[in-house]
Amino acid sequence: MKFFIDNWFLFLTALVSGGLLLWPKLAGGGGAMGRISPAQAVQLINREKAVLIDVCEPAEYAAGHAVGAKSVPLGSLAGSNDLPKNKAVPVVLICASGARAGRAAALLRKAGHEQAHVLAGGLAAWREANLPVEKSA
């Protein structure tokens, strides 16, 4: 017991550093529910039938979007019929950079979609990975 009392600062330092290492996972920013790479997104789409949702504005979507992505602008996400009815189905959210997709993922998680993922880097990362992009007429 004397050892613990004499070295309380070391134990406190170890606890704080461990907490800081775990913080991203506990806050929801890391792990399976956080940002995923384009390769991970393709795996989710192929293996678990994930739905790809583009939360860009209609003009941005028309200028270029990932093939197979459904257009659901961030402002109309809450009442959209394009979201999967089964809330256990994985959803991959994409936008130009990933910022709007992060907000969309938070909204979907609050609505019960446990597997709402954000494509890290957005459409730019999708293009950089040489994945197909199409334009709307």
CA-CA distance, 132 to 94, in Å (whole number)?
A: 14
Q: Provide the residue type at 95 as one letter.
A: C
**Token output for 77:** 């996400």
> Is 95 part of the annotated catalytic residue set?
yes
Annotated catalytic residue, options 95, 96, 105, 125:
95
Q: What φ, ψ does residue 122 adopt, rounded to 5°?
A: 60, -150
CA 55/CA 75 separation, integer angstroms: 8
Residues known to be catalytic: 95
